[in-house]
Amino acid sequence: MDNQWNDAAAQQAIEDYGHAGEDLALRTYTTRLLGKVPQLVLHGGGNTSVKTRVTDLLGDEYDVLCVKGSGWDMAFIEPPGLPAVKMEPLLKARALDALSDEAMVALQRSSLIDPGSPNPSVETLLHAFLPHKFVDHTHSTAILALVDQESSRELIDKVFGARMGFVPYIPPGFELAKAAADVFDENPQVEGLILDKHGIFTFGDTARQAYDRMIAAINEAEAYIAENGKPPFTPRTDLPANPASALQIAPVLRGAVAEALGEGCYNRFVCDFRTSPAILDFINGADLEDYALRGVTTPDLTIHVKNWPVILPPCPADDVEAWAEEARKAVQRYTEMYRAYFETNNARDDIERTILDPMPRMAIVPGLGIFGFGRTAKTASISGDVAEVWSANVADAEAIGKFYPLPAEELFKLEYWSLEQAKLKSRKVLPLTGQVALVTGGAGGIGAATAKLFATTGAHVVVADLDGDAAAKVAKSIGNQSIGVACDVTDAQSVRAAFDAAVEAFGGVDIVISNAGAAFQGEIGTLDDAVLRTSFELNFFAHQSVAQNAVRIFKMQQTGGVLLFNTSKQAINPGANFGAYGVPKAATLFLSRQYALEYGKIGVRSSAVNADRIRSGLLDDSMIASRSKARGVSEKEYMSGNLLKQEVTADHVAKAFLDLAMAERTTAGVLTVDGGNIEAALR
């Protein structure tokens, strides 16, 4: 592993963070160096600290420990992510015989210089009990390959000799901090501590010394693995010659891991697919169901991916349907195994715990790759990252011996750690969290407003529009990791590609808003036939193409789905010279009902929104001026020409789409959004 220290960059950090002091500036710099390497730190893992002096708001000066705070990513940390904790009470704590995790957190928070700071790391006391100015901690995969062995102590001594202390496994917290400090006291000449089944600490008088020692130790571990490793896996011989693609099976898996909450209701997950030559070597091993089910490489990973993956059978490209049934059964067996794991380990003491959802966060498909799952795209990506690093770590451990992680009962303690359980009770989930919505015409007025509202309500949105650049711009503006795709809804291949993009990004689709359309004018009796056919292509057949793709995905997921159509008041109350627009819209209204009729049996809800006089691409400023002039009213009067005498906006239409999407027992409905138009009211 390359040493990334750079004198010029370190000096720049001092200049950038000079307001925080040189100690904290350099601490921030080397924390980022460590945090940006996934083989060292993954999503909240690892921590660093520096002992220095600061002045509080009253002008009193204290010796403090600036240590990584909860919620900060080491790769992007800023000085506020290293809250200052008074050293004196931390050091006094070492004399205690015991200290619960809750009391430890309270002690650390009560000792903060700034009470508004994030919670200091759970390993704050370990940093405090070591005398060095700078302390670094990572979960290096190379180190884990050494400590995830049955004879880890002997192997660490062989690789590092007396330069590293060895700390037997103890869960993070007060007891670990005391044990690590005791190991250091036995040999104060060590350059670091290796924590069994956990990771590595290095320390020094300067930021560079602590960092250099970290990289040097990791390089020694990597060199040992390279020099002594053997091919870790024997390849299996029964893989299909033509395996299915991730695109073919992701919706099946996404549906299989959706947690049923009640009739027709689910907690849905997002998919993140990973494959590479290294991953394929791992998942194609003949003994996969042995080494992949032993556990995770370090206990903190249980928080992200539980203790083991679900292993699925290989999937031939020409037999996805049969494979899908086996995949669902495999997930069902996984959930049963997880519940049994919880019940067995929960019964070991009297602590009150709430079981987590039993769904897997990793799925292995031999011959293809690994799928990570999460309730959001971000957490799915974290699962994917963890899965990729975990598989490489197991490979290294198997290469030099036999992967030997902590037993299930120890992993359970951290997965159901009281501090993590407390977070669950305060965690807020938005109504559409875990769901994926696709909006056609997504860059237009109604489409963009709808996409924004759905993203705000928790959905990941695929903004599909003829103008791909505009779609991408809308997706970026609404956030929530939404994506924009170019889509010509009159082209079947383009529509298929938009849905494929949704599957590639998120694993599937749950809500489809078929919104794209355009108004065509002309007296119906003299209308050019080509105009009417063009209008039907966009305002009817395009909706059919979108709906067909939606149902295709819904069938694979087997968790129902929502199909919504923008039909316009013209479908109910035709206007003179707008027959070319109204006739296909009327057909689309009945199309929505046909989908409700035929696919309600698989949980698909299909309804329409009937809107009127919305400022958008269909009703632009010039048309508003023309229509108001023709009726002899002002533009304001024209736009508010309804029973409520109020203009209806794209945001109101978006709200109607959202209401229908969340109306769990509504289908074949038409929701009117026009401020009140008796002529367009349904009987």
Which pLDDT does position 352 carry in this prediction? Answer: 87
- Using CA atoms, how far apart are residues 175 and 462, in angstroms rounded to an integer? 48
- What pLDDT is attached to residue 612? 86
Using pLDDT thresholds of 50, 70 and 90, give the confidence band for residue 578: confident
Model confidence band, residue 27 (pLDDT cutoffs 50, 70, 90) = very high
User: pLDDT category, 579, cuts 50, 70, 90?
Assistant: confident
User: How would residue 618 be classed by pLDDT, with cut points 50, 70 and 90?
Assistant: low
Q: Region 347-369: what's the mean pLDDT? A: 95
Report how far residue 173's alpha carbon sits from residue 439's, in angstroms, rounded to the nearest whole number.
48
Select the CATH number that applies to the domain covering 436-612+648-674 from these four: 3.40.190.10, 3.40.50.300, 3.40.50.720, 3.30.465.10: 3.40.50.720
Of 40, 107, 623, the residue nearest 385 (C-alpha): 40
Give the pLDDT confidence score for residue 70 in this predicted structure. Answer: 87
Beta strands in 139-179 (DSSP E): 164-167
Altogether, the residues listed in the chain come to a count of 683
pLDDT tens digits for range 377-421: 999 999 999 999 999 999 999 999 999 999 999 999 999 988 777
Q: Read off the pLDDT of each residue in 348-369 and give the average, rounded to a whole number.
A: 95
Give 426's pLDDT tier (boundaries 50, 70, 90): low
In 129-274, which ranges are E strands? Answer: 134-138, 164-167, 192-195, 199-204, 259-262, 265-267, 270-274
- Mean of pLDDT values over 38-52: 92
Sheet holding 270-274, edge to edge: 270-274, 369-374, 362-365, 310-311
Q: Rounded to an integer, what distance in angstroms lies between the CA atom of residue 539 and that of residue 377?
A: 32
Domain ranges of the chain: 7-228, 246-426, 436-612+648-674, 617-646
Q: What is the mean pLDDT of the chain?
A: 94
pLDDT over 90 (residue 124): yes
E strands present in 25-153: 47-55, 61-67, 84-86, 134-138
Contact 280, 389 (CB under 8 A): no
Give the per-residue pLDDT at 105.
94
- The β-bridge partners of 202 are 136, 192
Q: Is the pTM of this model over 0.95?
A: no
Instruction: Tell me the CA distances in angstroms from 550 to 104, 195, 511, 584, 613, one per residue in order.
Output: 51, 51, 8, 20, 28
Query: Which own/partner contact pairs does 214-220 have at CB distance under 8 Å and 24+ positions apart?
Result: 214/34, 214/40, 214/136, 214/138, 214/140, 215/1, 215/2, 215/3, 217/140, 217/143, 217/160, 217/164, 217/191, 217/192, 218/1, 218/40, 218/138, 218/140, 218/142, 218/143, 219/1, 220/159, 220/160
Model pLDDT for residues 234-245, shown as the tens digit of each residue: 999 999 999 999
For residue 683, what pLDDT is reported?
62
Buried residues in 377-412 as b, exposed as e (16+ CB within 10 A): bebbbbbbbbbbbbbbbbbbbbbbbebbbbeeebbb
| Run of H or E including 605 | strand 604-611
Sign of CA dihedral 541, 544, 549, 550: positive
301-343 pLDDT, tens digit each: 999 999 999 999 999 999 999 999 999 999 999 999 999 999 9
Confidence at 620, pLDDT banded by 50, 70, 90: confident
Q: Which residues pair with 52 in a beta bridge?
A: 64
Query: With 90 as the cut, is the pLDDT of residue 57 above it?
Result: no
User: Catalytic site residues?
Assistant: 568, 581, 585
Query: pLDDT for 147-193, tens place per residue?
Result: 999 999 999 999 999 999 999 999 999 999 999 999 999 999 999 99
Predicted pLDDT of residue 418: 83
Task: Provide the pLDDT for residue 44.
Answer: 75
With 80 as the cut, is the pLDDT of residue 425 above it? no
Q: Say whether pLDDT at 616 is over 80.
A: no
Domain 246-426 fold is: L-fuculose-1-phosphate Aldolase (3.40.225)
pLDDT computed for residue 630 by the predictor = 81
Distances (CA, A) of 106 to 42, 63, 124, 602, 642: 26, 19, 12, 51, 60
At residue 576, the pLDDT reads: 83
pLDDT confidence bin for 43, thresholds 50/70/90 = confident
Q: What are phi and psi of 152, to 5 degrees?
A: -65, -40
In this prediction, residues 482-495 reach a mean pLDDT of 98
> 7-228: CATH homologous superfamily?
Class II aldolase/adducin N-terminal domain (3.40.225.10)
**pLDDT at site 639:** 86
The answer to whether residue 582 scores a pLDDT higher than 80 is yes
| Res. 205: pLDDT tops 70 | yes
- Same topology, domains 7-228 and 436-612+648-674? Answer is no
Sign of the C-alpha dihedral computed for residues 205, 208, 214 and 216 taken in this order: negative
* CB-based contact 581:539 (threshold 8 Å): yes
Percent of the chain exceeding pLDDT 70 equals 99
Q: Tokens 């600290």: give the residue.
A: 49
Report CA 540 to chain centroid distance, whole Å: 36
State the pLDDT confidence band at 41, using cuts at 50, 70 and 90: very high
